[in-house]
Amino acid sequence: MCMEKTPWEQAVEFHGHACPGLAIGFKAAEAAIRELGYARDVNEEMVAIVENDSCSIDAIQLILGCTAGKGNLIFRNNGKQVFTVGRRNDGKAVRIAPKYEVLSGAGKDESREDKMKHILESDPGDLFEIREAKLDLPEKAVIFKTVKCARCGEGVMESKARLSDGKPVCPDCFADYTRGW
């Protein structure tokens, strides 16, 4: 008999291991779904702006369906476990930030597994400060023309190419002239 995996089991499989960071992202995604009334993203209608590059982001991707490839996962690495999630159709957004005690080591004697279990068993309202956010959501992903770099021969998005001797070059091949300032 084949048993379907729970969302948490799917997140662990996607991420590669279970850990407190993944649990924080999982519960933040749960909070976003509860606040915004969405399940998983369809057609880039949900956008997540994440302020870290930790394990939590994998849960955001899997549970909310927001990915860098679709252009609806935006990284602003401020070193904060904060997630702003919004809907494009009406502009409603929420900012989800762990309460300081959740991350500051309250229960320092807890094992990693105990901390993870505590996070997973808690109501998102006990873990996070959740507030409405004003947010100018980015437009849906745009597909740009690809041009050939005159130096390395690789294709580069036209909007990222630079001109060198009147020919398009990729950012890696472009030699910027700054004179030190």
Distance CA 149, CA 172 (A): 10
pLDDT at residue number 179: 74
Question: What is the per-residue pLDDT for 21?
Answer: 95
| Residues 6 or more apart whose Cβ sits within 8 Å of residue 176 | none
| Burial (Cβ within 10 Å: 0-12, 13-18, ≥19) of residue 180 | exposed
- For 50, list phi and psi in degrees, rounded to 5: -110, 140
Which residue from 135, 136, 147, 61 is spatially nearest to 94, judged by alpha carbons? 135
Local structure of residue 68 (DSSP, 8 states)? T
List where CATH 3.30.60.20 sits in the chain: 143-181
pLDDT for res 161: 93
pLDDT of residue 38: 76
**pLDDT value for 146:** 94
Give 123-151 as a DSSP string.
-HHHHEEEEE----PPPPP-PPPEEE-TT
* 93-117 residue pLDDT tens: 999 999 988 777 655 677 889 999 9
Range(s) of the chain covered by CATH 3.30.1330.130: 7-132
Domain spanning 7-132, CATH architecture: 2-Layer Sandwich (3.30)
Q: What is the fold, at CATH topology level, of the domain defined by 143-181?
A: Wheat Germ Agglutinin (Isolectin 2); domain 1 (3.30.60)
Residues of the chain with pLDDT under 70: 1-2, 105-108, 181
pLDDT given at position 175: 85
pLDDT at residue 105 in the model? 62
Q: What is the pTM of this model?
A: 0.79
